[in-house]
């Protein structure tokens, strides 16, 4: 192993090959995960209906970023993902780690659009649990959101394992226009869901259910911080 870790491009295929990660979109694990049961109260139903109508009216907006971020903020708020001392949302944070691979090591530094993590103090993310990454226009081209998500998850695997001393799964997702994909990373396998469409009412409701399930799994699987 070299004395200094190499940097690696957050390209999906390169990361899969270098770190021996398998990708699947048809696993029973992800199918069951996104089939989260949901029960919306009257407030949820009214709020979701208004947001769905807004998503439809914004569908042809020339500025894709504002409607997308408004929808993200709405879904995260409705899912009520925070939990005192356990789960806090963080935006635009960078995860870094040296990740071993075969007979070498690679340094990963990845900015994450959104993540849920254990809070340290008032504004520092600790143990990461969930990530959301989006396609962004970069020099006229689409960046590799799958690669960015995988890079963030790989960096987080090392950090979470070192902190928790366990092999619990990490959750995440990425956005491509109106399509959302959810993901689970566990035992060197990245399970990716079917697309959820932002302008589809049932898909919106199911996305809230999935996010609420993520919160439940985090609180169940991860111990209270000491």
226 part of a folded domain: no
Instruction: Give the confidence band of 222 by pLDDT, cuts at 50, 70, 90.
Output: confident
**Per-residue pLDDT, 62:** 45
- Split into its structural domains, the chain has a count of 1
Q: What is the Cβ-side half-sphere exposure of residue 189, based on CA atoms within 13 angstroms?
A: 12
Count of residues for the chain? 226
Quote the tokens at residue 226: 């000491």
2, pLDDT greater than 90? no
Write out the residue range of the structural domain in which residue 96 sits. 6-221
CB 85 within 8 A of CB 120: no
Cα 92 to Cα 76: distance, rounded to the nearest angstrom: 15
57 part of a folded domain: yes
110 part of a folded domain: yes
1 part of a folded domain: no
pLDDT for 110-151, tens place per residue? 788 888 998 998 889 988 889 888 755 443 445 567 777 777
Cα 70 to Cα 73: distance, rounded to the nearest angstrom: 5
Quote the tokens at residue 221: 């699987």
**Per-residue pLDDT, 3:** 64
pLDDT for 156-214, tens place per residue? 776 665 555 567 888 988 887 778 899 998 888 999 999 999 888 889 889 989 999 99
């Amino acid at each position: 192993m070299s004395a200094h870790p190499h940097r690696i491009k957050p390209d999906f295929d390169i990361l899969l090959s270098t770190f021996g990660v398998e990708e699947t979109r048809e696993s029973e694990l992800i199918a069951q995960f996104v089939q989260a049961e949901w029960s919306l109260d009257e407030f949820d139903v009214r709020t979701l209906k208004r947001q769905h109508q807004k998503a439809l009216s914004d569908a042809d907006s020339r500025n894709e970023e504002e409607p997308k971020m408004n929808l993200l903020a709405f879904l995260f708020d409705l899912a009520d993902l925070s939990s005192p001392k356990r789960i806090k949302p963080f935006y635009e944070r960078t995860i870094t780690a040296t990740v071993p691979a075969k007979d070498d090591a690679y340094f990963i530094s990845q900015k994450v659009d959104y993540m849920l993590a254990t809070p340290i103090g008032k504004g520092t993310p600790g143990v990461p649990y969930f990530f959301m990454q989006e396609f962004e226009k970069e020099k006229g081209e689409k960046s590799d959101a799958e690669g960015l998500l995988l890079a963030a998850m790989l960096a987080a695997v090392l950090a979470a394992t070192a902190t928790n001393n366990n092999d619990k799964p990490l959750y995440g997702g990425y956005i491509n226009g109106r399509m959302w994909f959810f993901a689970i990373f566990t035992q060197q396998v990245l399970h990716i869901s079917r697309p959820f469409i932002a302008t589809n009412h049932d898909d919106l409701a199911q996305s809230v259910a999935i996010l609420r399930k993520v919160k439940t799994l985090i609180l169940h699987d991860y111990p209270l911080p000491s």
